[in-house]
Structure 1
């Protein structure tokens, strides 16, 4: 019975994961089969497969690995960025991860070592968003660079590459990705005005915003 419940949970989570992956395309955060999405269920990780368009994914395409990266369910090869996802799950309390190649965020990753705090939603990610130094995709080096940039944060930029965010749910991980892309667009827009420099929030202001955001939304 416990195994049946786990299988049902995996199926439900896979359905939500596919919806989230398709949303990254619909919202312009990725192109084609770029980017990837994952979710943790117990000691298993559901993840988008490599090179398969999200609109073609079906329940039969469920792809699942353990925390060592060994495939335990499905026949498709997991995303090439699996090392990124597993590194986050091994070192944080993340239950879901979204990785994108969002245009504005990727542009910012080529310009600065850290996204300047132009908006209070920076606090929702734990503070100013760092840029992880470039390394070839799918490598342990990139995963290590990412973990350093994620210290104390729930998201970071990957230099000349894209974004990665995590959360307690797929919805939260996605929302953080969307907010990060929006803040990058905001900074690029504000900093492009000739002769003017965007005002930035202080550490104290970000901390105050982060505390207030913890109580945001509906509560039972």
Structure 2
């Protein structure tokens, strides 16, 4: 569980929430509803428990943010937590996996991808359009990105003189995590995702990272196959319980 706790902590730091609170082993994260990852309660230590009183306090905290209570249940949460939330009518959604890759990307010999140390308006706009972000979500996305404290690499793949893929790598205590990986919908299934991820892996290796992690939603077979082919292996799974 020690390695799970470390990976979870790295993820919290690399993808920070706009508002946070800590309640009895749970880290509460809130960012205007943009992504469940940044708007959920997360166990921070092995065997974290949940009882009726604590559940009500967490629900009240999210209600003050005008958000439903969402729990992201990793292996750090005791199995009793999932049972309690299920009994209270919380819906199980988005089973996902935390993936990890060891070593340097010697197998990534695709064309170089430009990686910038700072986020630009063009990067934000391109990612937003390719991801289909609604106008009200875009300021929250920018606030999350602006809040990242670690060293960052913002990658953009170009094709025919225009930007077609975007991704972000964040260095955290000597390792790196990948976030915001997206290819423009009309340009998918052309190998651009592989080129993008390889570019980010190369950047991470140049910064001295020995491990790279990412999180992928279950059922996304295209992404899972790509990451497996690049040496990423599942470390653990998690899922969300959403208040109804």
Which one scores higher on RCO, CA 8 angstroms, separation ≥ 6?
Answer: 2
For the superposition of Structure 1 and Structure 2, which TM-score range results when normalised by the shorter chain?
under 0.3
Structure with greater strand share of residues: 2
Structure with greater helix share of residues: 1
- TM-score normalised by length of structure 1: 0.27
